[in-house]
Amino acid sequence: MLGNLQKYREIIISVALFLILDLSVLVVSSITTGQLESDAVAVNLASRQRELSQRIVKTLLQIQIAQNAEHSIEEPQNELATTFKIFDETIEGLRDGRLVTGGDYKTVMLIPVETDSAKVYLERAFLIWNPFKEKLFRVIAAKGTVPKEDLQDAVEYASNNNLLLLDLMNFITSEAEKKLSDKSNTLRTIQITGIIAALINFFILLFHFIRKLRSQDAEITRYSENLEKMVDIRTRELRTAQEQLRATNISLERAKYELEVLNSQLEQKVEERTAELKNTQTQLIQSEKMAALGQMVAGLAHEVNTPLAFVKTNLEGMSEFQKEIFLLVDESEKLCESLKNDDMENLDKHLVQLAELQERLKKANTIQDISDMLRESLTGMDRIQELVMNLKNFSRLDEAEYKYADIHAGIDSTLLIANNIIKNKARVVKEYAPKLYAECYPAQLNQVFLNLITNAAQAIEREDGEIRIKTSIEDGYAVIRVADNGKGIPKEYLNRIFEPFFTTKPVGQGTGLGLSICYQIIEKHSGVMQVESQVGVGTTFTIKIPVKQKRDGGAATEIVRSRSSNLQMA
Amino acid sequence: MSALSNILLVDDEPLLLSSLSRVLRLHYTVFTAENGVQALDIIQRNKIKVIVSDQRMPGMLGHELLGKVKDLSPNTVRLLLTGYSDLDAILNSVNAGQIFRYINKPCSVEKLREMIELGVQIHDRIVSMQNEAKTETPAKPATEVAKTAADPPATLLFVGYTPAEIQKLTSKMNVRFIVEHATTLDEAFAALNRVSVSVLISDLNFGEHDGIDFLNTVKKEFPHTVTVILTDIVDATMAIRSINEVQVFRYITKPVSEDSFARTVEEAAKKNRTYQSTPHQNIKLTAETISPDQAFQTSAEKLRAKLVAARIALTKSRS
């Protein structure tokens, strides 16, 4: 606000100045004009006095003529009276100032004369008028006829003084005119001065405004130049920025492209690596399987080898004994021949030899041996057959993969397979439920059992090693517990043992996949696998699998699917 | 008719025992045991010439049993039956059991009889030589001979190792040895002809030549040289052959600590002195005097030729 006022101060001052000047000129000129009117009235009336004096003279003469001719003097007498009255009041007005009858018989205000010379002239005029006035008054007052002497006296006075009076009236009029002219000059001067002052003010104002406008213009120009410059700079900056942006954009595009290329390469690499990894995993799982298989096969070889060894020994022994038997048979045939032919010489000889042979066989207990050997060999063959049967049961290659199977049979066949690992380490205690069947992949479950039983046997370091296998049915779950009294698993390893590749065995002695594969097999059966262990006391693995798999959407297919993902997860 | 020799069969399979005893009992008095404890009991109460033990048995393993038998009855010739090629067990038995032979299960009756017969003869020879030694020099037991301070330092021959390796291996030895080394077999033969080697420390990997054949050739010519195998080849067949063909003293797999290696070499040197003072203790030598072809067959004729060539070269250079 204050700033605005400040801004408008100049213009306000200028306007005020302008108004004051104009107003003062107006006031002065209006006053002066009023005075001029009065002065004009004075001029006018002063000049009328000359005419009036003439008319007074003329009416006097008219009265004289009329009287001479004896005509009525009434009319010129009235005119003289009126003229006399006007003349008298006007001259008094000029001296004292008073209301008088104007030119058009209206009353106007007459102001007294002011100049000294006019006052002198007026004094002299009064000196003439006052005696004239008395003479005229007698003329006017006369009824019917004016006494001749009076009239003569008036006419004589008039003719003697009229010219002087006229001159005086002229002087006064000139004085009045002079005063009027002076005043109107003054007025003109004032008006011109006012106008000039107003003009000067206006021009000052105009100049000032122009200058201001110009400076403002300059400022605006400067400002706009600045603005333009700034705009230029900004434009340049913007352009640079834009170019940079474009460059950035281009490099971004390029980077994006490169990224895409890299991405695709990466994807390819990932795919390759995934494939490699899968391959490696497959190989690892394969090698784990091979390791397990190798162990199993070695064990089985030993198991088969023992009966094979004694069966072979028996057969070799029998082939030796067979020679003796054949000798016996041969001798018997010869004896029969001799008997048939009545060959008495040879008969005796053969009889003796036969007796010797029989004695020898009897002494060596050969016959009994042969029958024992046969019996034992058959036993050996039975054992081999049983092993083969178990192997078949364990692998279940000739059965449906997924079926409702006897869990106990699976454990038992696994125990036989693992016998050679267990037998030097521990005795097996079975605490089976009366019956335990579950829907499962029996071969895979057997793999889990073999793993757990083998681990248990390997963990045992004491003389009275024991592996306790307990089964039960709990809430629709088949529960199998494999407990050992081995060295136990340290706490820090306990939550890691199901991790793939986790192993405490030296490098090359186990891939660390065994338990993780077991875990997955059990998961795949919608089951759980848990471990409890105490170092120095033993370890218990617990497996729980549903007796009946859920049928929504087909558990079997679910299991089959997860089986294929098994490879990837392991 | 002279009394039959006593032999002992140990196996946890009774049917195997019965079958074996049936085919052997015409020629031997057969004792059987189903485990180590029973076997040791029998050994203590009877003079057993040959023991044949299975390796894998509950309780005591075969090589453990034979180790104990060696202490209880040193002259009993020890055979180990293995049906299951358990590498660790074999190496253990090589190094601890001091066994005479490995026999693979199943073994033919004929082969088994041969082995047992050879064992019986070796037993009888050693016993008779011991008796002779006792009557001739009763005051000087073999061990004291070995400890004679006047003996010159024993010579070690390293075959197939880098000098740095040998430096490292010999760094912890307390006893002074003369150390020879050879990188090729030719160099080895030359060294063997030049000096009397007490202990031969050898690798098994010699490219075209079989390491066991090489050792066998050496053993034939220098029967008292004690052989130590130090190798990174861990192989059951090699280990079995090193016993059956070379009667190796120790089979050590790399890496080995310098301390235990030093101990092994010292023991080997002692063994060498024992062989020199009482040759009948050298079971391989004894076996070969009884049945040279049968006892330690070898296909190392080419190597033998090399050895002979080396010897001729040496003689020539000396003359």
Per residue in B154-199, pLDDT (tens digit) is 888 998 888 888 888 888 887 788 888 888 888 888 888 888 888 9
Q: What is the radius of gyration, based on Cα positions, of chain B?
A: 20
- Between chains, do B58 and A424 touch, taking CB under 8 Å as contact? yes
**C-alpha span between B87 and A482 (Å, rounded):** 29
For testing contact with chain B, the best of A304, A306, A424 (most B CBs within 10 A): A306
Average pLDDT over residues B247-261: 85
Residue A274, amino acid? T
Q: Who among A301, A302, A376 is closest to B18 (CB)?
A: A376
- Identify the CA nearest to A516 among candidates A496, A489, A490, A539: A496
Q: Residue B143: pLDDT above 70?
A: no
Q: Which CATH class is domain A2-216?
A: mainly alpha
Residues A551/A471, Cβ–Cβ less than 8 Å = no
Q: Which residue has the higher pLDDT, A527 or A96?
A: A527
- Identify the CA nearest to A37 among candidates A149, A184, A140, A247: A184
- Identify the CA nearest to A308 among candidates B111, B104, B38, B237: B104
Instruction: Please report which helix (H) or strand (E) contains residue A346, including its range.
Output: helix A344-364
Q: Who among A298, A305, A424 is closest to B106 (CB)?
A: A305
Q: Tell me whether the omega of the peptide bond preceding residue B163 falls within 30 degrees of 0, making it cis.
A: no
- Quickly count: other Cβ atoms within 10 Å of residue B225's Cβ: 21
Q: Which residue has the higher pLDDT, A3 or A237?
A: A237
Which of chain B's residues have a Cβ under 8 Å away from the Cβ of A310?
13, 15-16, 18-20
Cα angle for residues A449, A450, A453 (degrees, 5° grid) = 80
| Residue B279: strand, helix, or coil | helix
**C-alpha span between B268 and B227 (Å, rounded):** 8
Residues across chain B:
319
Which of chain B's residues have a Cβ under 8 Å away from the Cβ of A372?
18, 22
Average pLDDT over residues A109-136: 83
**Crossing angle of the two packed helices B109-136 and B283-290, in degrees rounded to 10:** 110
For testing contact with chain B, the best of A310, A321, A376 (most B CBs within 10 A): A310
Separation in Å, CA of A340 to nearest CA in chain B: 37
Q: Find where tokens 């990932």 sit.
A: A270
Q: Which of A300-304, A482-486, B13-17 has the lowest mean pLDDT?
A: A300-304
The tokens for A39 are 């002065």
Separation in Å, CA of A269 to nearest CA in chain B: 38
Domain regions of chain A by residue span: 2-216, 396-570
The tokens for A187 are 């007025």
Q: Who among B57, B85, B109 is closest to A313 (CB)?
A: B109
At the topology level, CATH places domain B143-318 in Rossmann fold (3.40.50)
| Residue B30: strand, helix, or coil | strand
Residues A128/A164, Cβ–Cβ less than 8 Å = yes
Cα A50 to Cα A75, A112, B95: the distances in Å are: 21, 18, 185
Residues B49/B123, Cβ–Cβ less than 8 Å = yes
Beta bridge partners of B51: B8, B78
Q: Residue A30: pLDDT above 90?
A: no
Q: How many CA atoms lie within 13 A of A445 on its CB side?
A: 32
| Residue A436: strand, helix, or coil | coil
Q: Does this chain's domain B5-136 share its CATH topology with B143-318? A: yes
Residue in B closest to A361 by C-alpha: B26
> What's the mean per-residue pLDDT of chain A?
82
Residue A244, amino acid? Q
The pLDDT tens digits for A177-197 are 888 888 888 888 888 887 888
- Between chains, do B20 and A420 touch, taking CB under 8 Å as contact? no
Which of chain A's residues have a Cβ under 8 Å away from the Cβ of B56?
302, 420, 424
- Between chains, do A424 and B59 touch, taking CB under 8 Å as contact? yes
Residues A331/A350, Cβ–Cβ less than 8 Å = yes
Separation in Å, CA of B124 to nearest CA in chain A: 27
- Identify the CA nearest to B13 among candidates A383, A369, A411: A383
For testing contact with chain A, the best of B16, B85, B112 (most A CBs within 10 A): B16
Give me the pLDDT at residue A387, please: 82
- Between chains, do B19 and A298 touch, taking CB under 8 Å as contact? no
Separation in Å, CA of A350 to nearest CA in chain B: 25
Residue in A closest to B84 by C-alpha: A302
Give me the pLDDT at residue A396, please: 67
The pLDDT tens digits for A440-473 are 988 888 889 988 998 898 888 888 889 999 999 9
**C-alpha span between B228 and A223 (Å, rounded):** 106
* Chain B residues within 8 angstroms (CB to CB) of chain A: 13, 15-16, 18-20, 22-23, 26, 56-59, 61, 83-85, 105-110
- SS3 of A188-257: HHHHHHHHHHHHHHHHHHHHHHHHHHHHHHHHHHHHHHHHHHHHHHHHHHHHHHHHHHHHHHHHHHHHHH
Beta bridge partners of B28: B5
At the topology level, CATH places domain B5-136 in Rossmann fold (3.40.50)
Q: Which of A292-296, A409-413, A563-567 has the lowest mean pLDDT?
A: A563-567
The tokens for A553 are 């959407």
- Identify the CA nearest to B161 among candidates B245, B272, B254: B254
The pLDDT tens digits for A362-412 are 888 888 889 999 999 999 999 888 888 877 777 766 666 778 889 999 999
**For chains A and B, what is the number of CB pairs under 8 angstroms?**
70
| Residue B159: strand, helix, or coil | strand
**C-alpha span between A361 and A366 (Å, rounded):** 5
Q: Answer yes or no: is the ipTM higher than 0.85.
A: no
- Between chains, do A310 and B59 touch, taking CB under 8 Å as contact? no
Residue in B closest to A425 by C-alpha: B58
Give me the pLDDT at residue A466, please: 92
Residues A478/A436, Cβ–Cβ less than 8 Å = yes
> What's the mean per-residue pLDDT of chain B?
81
Q: Which residue has the higher pLDDT, A12 or A478?
A: A478
C-alpha torsion sign, points A194, A200, A204, A207? positive
Q: Which of A426-435, B42-51, B161-170 has the lowest mean pLDDT?
A: B161-170
Q: Find where tokens 């002259």 sit.
A: B75
Average pLDDT over residues B99-118: 85
Residue in A closest to B107 by C-alpha: A309
Separation in Å, CA of A516 to nearest CA in chain B: 27
Residue in B closest to A369 by C-alpha: B22
- Between chains, do A310 and B19 touch, taking CB under 8 Å as contact? yes
Give me the pLDDT at residue B18, please: 93
Cα angle for residues A365, A367, A371 (degrees, 5° grid) = 115
Q: Which residues make Cβ contacts (< 8 Å) with residue A127, sequence separation at least 6?
A: none
Give me the pLDDT at residue B98, please: 67
Domain covering A396-570 assigned CATH 3.30.565.10 in the classification: yes
**DSSP-assigned states of every residue in A276-290:** HHHHHHHHHHHHHHH
Give me the pLDDT at residue A218, please: 82
Cα A110 to Cα A54, A89, A184: the distances in Å are: 22, 10, 18
Q: Residue A503: pLDDT above 80?
A: no
- Between chains, do A301 and B83 touch, taking CB under 8 Å as contact? yes
Domain regions of chain B by residue span: 5-136, 143-318
